[in-house]
Every structure is written in structure tokens, then in C-alpha cells.
Chain A
Amino acid sequence: MAASESYPDELLYHSEHDWARIDGDEATLGVTWFAQDALGELVHYEAPDVGSAVSKDASYGEVESVKAVSDLISPLSGEVLEVNQTVVDAPETVNEDPYGDGWLIRIRMSSADEREQLLSAAEYRKVLEDA
């Protein structure tokens, strides 16, 4: 049921195990394979409100499994345009497809330069190895 381990090259990563897919001045955010594997099957997604602000390195919500809670750390700053209702209704979607159907929020970036501070897939893999 859970996806197999992968870290797509076209995404950018944050050391707190979150990813970003940039598309113009918008970004889609989610959690990595490592994060969903560590938490186990997700049972709850506490999402931010559409229209609220998110800040780089700060928490914008939470996901929960039966045995753990994890803050969702935003890799970028911006305004929330959309929340993935599929994950709200079926949080286990994140375990099944963390980079596709399991996306969490879409934002309009407020500071596109921030993407320079994010990690490539190779750099993120190294963070995992070093841990």
C-alpha cells in the first residue's frame, strides 16, 4: 500500500523532510517518503486555512499517525491558495503517493529567492544518509 522509496529529481527539498514543486510563482508542498515512512499510516491532516500566510522554516499544519504527531515545516514563504481536500478526507493518500496525490498545500510564493536555499534531491539524500 505504501509507495516505495524515492526522491524525484525535479523537486526541491527541505531538511525537515518536506518537498516543493515550483511552477512559476506558485509552489506545491508536501512531505517526503522518509517522513511518511517514519510516521506510519497517517490518520489526520490538520491543514491551514486558504488565504493564510506560511513562512519558510515555520510550521503550517500537522499530520498525525496513531503513534506520532509531526509539524509540517514550510520550505517557502507565501499565501495558501489551495488545501488538498483528498488528504484531509483520506490522510493515508500521503503514504500511497507522497509526491503526487498526497500533496498538501499550494501556495503563491512571496519570495522566489528562497528556493536557492532548498536542497536538490541528491543533497537531500545525503542528509538522510548522514543522519
Chain B
Amino acid sequence: MSYLSVTDADRDAMLAAIGVATVDELFQDIPAGMRFREELAVKPALTEAELQRHFEELAAKNVVDEVCFLGGGIYDHYVPAVVDAVLQRGELLTAYTPYQPEMSQGVLQAIFEYQTAICELTGMDVSNASGYDGTTVAADACFVAKHATGRTKVVVTEATNPQVRQVVKTYAPGFGLEVVEVPHEGGATDPDRIRAAAEDAAAVIFQQPNFFGVLEAAPDLAAAATDAGAMPVAHVDLISLGVLEAPGAYGCAMAIGEGQSAGNAMSYGGPHYGFLAARSDYVRRLPGRIVGETVDAAGERGYVLTLQTREQHIRREKATSNITTNQTLLALAGLVHLSLLGPQGLRELGETCLALAHHAKAELQRAGLELVFPERATFKEFAVRTGRNAREALADARKKGVYAGYPLGRDYPGLDDALLVAVTEKRTVEEIAQLVEALS
């Protein structure tokens, strides 16, 4: 099945107008040695019905019926039906980047509304239209900080998501940046350690709540970075910002993160969207697209991409980033979800996660299991010691229909017996009882 409309008659008419006899002649500029004359070594074409069958078979080989307590940056939150309905509007789904604003007021206004929402949640002055994901926006923040401060080092807490740290380290050599990690102590980060490490740093990146679900002393971490002349950058969870303070309110220069919790299905890791917001001082250094308000020739309000001179298509090798395609549609999904929640709904969502996670912690402790960081306040995730090898505990729990969590030993020394357990508003008291039963 193909999506071509060309008929033999069409082909003949077009070839005649062009002035060649065959389609093959259109490729005469390709040297003979580079013409591929075989058939492509790919499986035969499928009709739509066959496609459906093939993909259903593949999907059936994935396990999605075990109760999900996995987190680690991607979460099983409920995505409302209106989100899907909006994303399926062909005028939005199949539109290109809005470089021709008169054709794209829908997307442009939606991005402006998204930028507003991100600024509101994070307490910042300007947001871009999205980055690739929660890891690459950390690399973006390092690039901004380097050019804003002239310093060539960045500090990242060890309690920040391991994949975020890994991506920052992959990008750092090209940026000419050194990356220093500050270890966690008892599941959180000591501001004095940050102050010391950040003396010659361009930025300090910390996660709130951190990878262990623990609430850091974020205002103190931000202050420590500022004292050392580094830009404090908070990596945050949008869903938490109805109950947790905005980074802009406690002295951060930038706020970044993975937006998936708001509006996106987990979908084996993507596509999702990274968000990046900053104080107004940094607006000209920001990577990615930014939508601005203006008027048209009749004086009516409208929206356009603005400050495009930052971007690759104009500034080329001096651009603030090479990013072109971003994650607009996924960010739009986030906006729709946040619009449905409103401030009340977002707060309630955060409180439900807090309450259920707290209950799970209490029940696990009641069953004799130990928390890894028992004195630390947490949000919707926490680390629990299984009393044995965490992978084995996970395997046994899976046999009881519970995917109990993420084995932390993969990323942190001394935690081979620990699982990171996430509890979202989709989990019930009964499911938590199942979790406890499966682990004890």
C-alpha cells in the first residue's frame, strides 16, 4: 500500500512536459557507479489491515499489565481524552514550524500560551517553545551559562537523574566545559559542598525532587550557587509545581526539566518534551524557538516567531543552538493537560501523589522493609531496601503482577538492594497493598 496518486497517464504527461522519455532519465546526474540497481533489501509492502495485525503482534510482546511503580523521570500519570482529541486535529498535527505566521496563528498562539504556563509554573520570565527532552535541556542550560558567565565548568549533583548527567557529560567536551559532580549525602545534597565546588563554575544543576524522590533544600542550594557566582539551574517536575515552590521564587537563574508528566503517554521513552525557562537577562542567549506577540497590518493582535537571530537559520555557526525541529506537539499536549487541571487541579494532583506515596512508605515500613532515606521528605517517589538483591526482588514481584520499581544499584553504589518506587495518582490503596505483599 502506498500513498501515491500518480497514474500512468499522469506520468506520461509529466515526462512529456519535462522533455525526457523515462523517469530513469531524471536521475542522469547520478554517476553510474553510485546508481543502486538492485531491489531494496526490505520486507514486502503491507496493506493497512496487515500493518494493523503486524503492529498488534509487536505490541502484544510488551508487558503493560503489571501494576506500574516505575518512575525515574518518566511517570504513569493519567492523560485526559481532550489531550488526544486536540493532538489529532490535522491542522496542528500535520503543520510545519510556523515560519509563515499568517498560516500558523493556531500553533503560534498555542506556543505563546505554553510559554506563559511554563513561566507561571517555574516563576521565570521567558520560556522557549521546548527542547528535545529533560536531558538535552540540561546541556542547553550549560551552553547558556558558559556564554553568560565566561566560565568553563559546570557542577551537577549526583542526586540528579543519571541520564541527565550522562548527556551533560557527552555534550561538555564540544562546549569546552568541565563537569564536576557533587555526591549526595543520605539522599540529599549539602549546600556547603555546592558552594565550594561552584567557585569557578558557570552553573550548578540540581534536581527537585531529586532522583531519589527526596526534597532537596533547594533555596539553600540556589543561594550557595549564587554565592559562588554560578547560575543556579533547577531541574524540576511540572506536576510537582502545584505544591512545590517555583524555582524563580527561590533565586534560580533557569528552570529546566522533562515535561512528560504533563500530557504525554510514556510510550517507551518518547517523544516527550524538555522545557527550559530563564530570567529575562538571558532571553537573547536562549536556545530554541520563542514566540512573541505583535500586531498585523490592520492593528490586530497576532503571534510570530521572534528573536530568530539567535537561531541557526540566521546566526549559523554563532547560533545559541543548532536546534530546529523541537517537540512542539508534545508541549502542546502539556499545555492542554495543564489547562484542564488549572491551579486547583494541579495542587490536588500533587497532594494525591504525596498522600499515596506517603501511605506506600508507611505500609512498606509496617511490613518490615526499610526506607533508604527514612528521615527525608519526598514527593511521589522514594527508595526502599528490599532486603536482598533488588533485581531478584523485582523478578519475584513481577511474578505477582507488580512492577515494583527501578533497581538503583545500576546507577548508585551501595544501593544494590534498593528499588526506586514511584506512586502516581493512578495508583490505588489496593495496588499499594499488592506492592507491599509482593516485596515482603
A and B found bound together: yes
Which A residues contact B (CB, under 8 angstroms)? 44, 64-69
**Which of B160-168, B224-232, B308-316, B401-409 contacts its partner?**
B308-316
Which residue of chain B is the closest to A46 with respect to CB atoms? B284
Give the most central of B284, B314, B318: most A CB within 10 Å: B314
B318 neighbours in A (Cβ, 8 Å): 69
* Number of A-B residue pairs at CB separation under 8 A: 15
Q: Give chain B interface residues in 261-320, CB to chain A under 8 Å.
A: 284, 308-309, 314-315, 318
A69 neighbours in B (Cβ, 8 Å): 309, 314-315, 318
- Complex CA distance for A69 and B318, rounded to whole angstroms: 10
- Complex CA distance for A67 and B314, rounded to whole angstroms: 7
Give the most central of B309, B315, B318: most A CB within 10 Å: B309
Q: How far is the CB of B318 from chain A (nearest CB, A)?
A: 8
Which B residues contact A (CB, under 8 angstroms)? 284, 308-309, 314-315, 318
- Complex CA distance for A68 and B284, rounded to whole angstroms: 14
11 residue pairs of the A-B complex, CB under 8 angstroms, read A44-B284, A44-B309, A64-B309, A66-B308, A66-B309, A67-B308, A67-B309, A67-B314, A68-B309, A68-B314, A69-B314
Q: How far is the CB of B193 from chain A (nearest CB, A)?
A: 35
Which residue of chain A is the closest to B318 with respect to CB atoms? A69
Q: How far is the CB of A92 from chain B (nearest CB, A)?
A: 15
A44 neighbours in B (Cβ, 8 Å): 284, 309
Q: How far is the CB of A65 from chain B (nearest CB, A)?
A: 8
- Complex CA distance for A67 and B315, rounded to whole angstroms: 10
Which residue of chain B is the closest to A70 with respect to CB atoms? B309
Q: How far is the CB of B158 from chain A (nearest CB, A)?
A: 38
A65 neighbours in B (Cβ, 8 Å): 309
B309 neighbours in A (Cβ, 8 Å): 44, 64-69
Q: How far is the CB of B148 from chain A (nearest CB, A)?
A: 14
Q: How far is the CB of A91 from chain B (nearest CB, A)?
A: 12
B315 neighbours in A (Cβ, 8 Å): 69
B308 neighbours in A (Cβ, 8 Å): 66-67
Q: How far is the CB of A47 from chain B (nearest CB, A)?
A: 13
Which residue of chain B is the closest to A63 with respect to CB atoms? B309
Which residue of chain B is the closest to A43 with respect to CB atoms? B309
Q: How far is the CB of B319 from chain A (nearest CB, A)?
A: 10
- Complex CA distance for A68 and B313, rounded to whole angstroms: 10
- Complex CA distance for A110 and B314, rounded to whole angstroms: 34
- Complex CA distance for A20 and B318, rounded to whole angstroms: 27
- Complex CA distance for A66 and B311, rounded to whole angstroms: 12
Which residue of chain A is the closest to B313 with respect to CB atoms? A67
Q: How far is the CB of B10 from chain A (nearest CB, A)?
A: 38
A67 neighbours in B (Cβ, 8 Å): 308-309, 314
Which residue of chain B is the closest to A67 with respect to CB atoms? B314
Q: How far is the CB of B105 from chain A (nearest CB, A)?
A: 18
CB-based closest 6 A-B pairs: A64-B309, A69-B309, A69-B315, A69-B314, A68-B314, A67-B314
Q: How far is the CB of A115 from chain B (nearest CB, A)?
A: 30
- Complex CA distance for A67 and B306, rounded to whole angstroms: 10
- Complex CA distance for A35 and B314, rounded to whole angstroms: 17
- Complex CA distance for A44 and B308, rounded to whole angstroms: 12
Known: A66-B309, A69-B314. 4 other contacts (CB 8 A): A67-B308, A67-B314, A68-B309, A69-B309
- Complex CA distance for A68 and B311, rounded to whole angstroms: 10
- Complex CA distance for A97 and B355, rounded to whole angstroms: 66
Which residue of chain A is the closest to B305 with respect to CB atoms? A66
- Complex CA distance for A65 and B318, rounded to whole angstroms: 16
Give the most central of A44, A66, A68: most B CB within 10 Å: A66
Which residue of chain B is the closest to A68 with respect to CB atoms? B314
B314 neighbours in A (Cβ, 8 Å): 67-69
B284 neighbours in A (Cβ, 8 Å): 44
